Structure 1
Amino acid sequence: MKKAIIALGGNQGPVRENLQRVLMALPELGIEPVVVGGLYLTEPVGYTEQDWFYNSAALVQTELSPEELLARLLQLETELGRVRQLRWGPRTIDLDLIWYEGEERQTDFLQLPHPRAEGRAFVVLPIADFWPDFRLGTCTVTELGKALVKSQKIKKITNYPW
């Protein structure tokens, strides 16, 4: 079994319920949640004329390849009503593969580690909840989070279970 980190988010519809549905559906897809970070409310990035997002992250383990894992996450997004209309736009659910143990990728389908993760408080802070010394780039997620909260609006709502 390999470890992986998935970022979870959304800002349309019953987002908290959708996030919980994701966590409950993962085992049926061959993905076992190990630990889940807190729930955060975050300002949108990129396209800012939309509601704020709920975000979290989960450490999972799986026997799926990185490509299979991402494909199943995208399938789950579709099942939960995600429609891709606008880059960084509103969405019912957003599942990103941030890291996969021992793997790096630079393809059109998958980039590992996620190329923008270290610059996003809504990714690094939930990871820091369960793995504070995890490194993205040259810094730990704890170090990154301390720097990012100075320039990004984010508020922790609660620890898991949420």
Structure 2
Amino acid sequence: MTTTVYLGLGSNLGDREANLRRGLELLAGRIAHLSASSVYQTEPWGYTEQPKFLNVACRGETNLPPLEVLAFCQEVERETGRTPTFRYGPRVLDIDILAYGDQAFASPELVIPHPRLAERAFVLAPLAELTPGWVHPTLGKSAAQLLREVEGREGVRVWGWAFGHQQGDEKGGFRGAKPL
């Protein structure tokens, strides 16, 4: 049995676009039917003295349990060049598990849905584009509704294209959602 997993990717070091593309390509190796939102440029969150981020949301199907999805995402981050830094600091690639089907999950290593998802416009904007009707399993609100309610939307801009418009499924890649 497979579960739909929703991920958020962000990069603000090096070639941000290439980092996101590489992350999505690696994720597509173990997450089936991967589709991605447009790319958004966003202001940093938490620690603001750093370069702007590029962010994207994606969804796909997996038979991996949540902690194995986490381990896989961390492996993809390392393969893309991420090294340890301070909390909310700059990074080559950051991958967050936003949601795992309609399930809530908690362990010392992982909380799903992401505990700060509803506070982050940089996550909600691409997620709402990709899947506006997705409903947060504990808040009972759609991605589109959460986006309308969150502060900081003014710092989130569509960067201008979707990944999938350049690489399609015939190459084993991912599909991009239509831009807003």
Q: TM-score, normalised by structure 1?
A: 0.92
CA drift at 1:102: 4.0
121, 141, 164: which one aligns with 1:139: 141
Other structure's SS at 2:28 match: helix
What's 2:172 paired with?
Answer: none
Corresponding position of 2:120: 120
Q: Using the alignment, how far apart are the partners of 1:98 and 1:2 within structure 2?
A: 13
The residue that corresponds to 1:78 in the other structure is 78
Alpha-carbon separation, structure 2, partners of 1:108 and 1:68: 14
Q: CA deviation at 1:59?
A: 0.7
Q: Is there any run of 5+ residues in structure 2 with no aligned partner, and where?
A: 166-180
Q: Deviations over 1:97-122 (max 9, x none)?
A: 11001432221111011100111111
What is the CA distance between 1:31 and its match in structure 2? Answer: 1.1
Residues 114, 129 of structure 1: alpha-carbon distance in 2 compared, 3 angstrom cutoff? same
Q: Which residue of 1 aligns with 2:91?
A: 91
Give the aligned residue type for 1:127. Answer: L
1:19 counterpart residue number: 20
2:16 and 2:24 map into 1 onto residues whose CA distance is 13
Identity %: 32
- Number of aligned pairs? 161
Change (3 A) 1:126 1:80: same
Q: Take 1:68 and 1:54, find their aligned partners in 2: how far apart are those partners? A: 25
CA distance in 2, matches of 1:130, 1:6: 11
Conserved? CA contact 1:37–1:159, under 8 Å: no
Instruction: Give the superposed CA RMSD.
Output: 1.6
Equivalent residue, structure 2, for 1:52: 52
- Determine the C-alpha separation between the residues in 2 that align with 1:151 and 1:14: 24
Q: How does 1:56-71 map to 2 (within 5 A)?
A: 56-71=56-71
Tell me if 1:129 matches 2:117. no
Deviations 1:60-88 (A, max 9, x none): 11111111111000011011111122100
3-state SS in 1 of match to 2:162:
coil
Q: Secondary structure at the match of 2:92?
A: coil
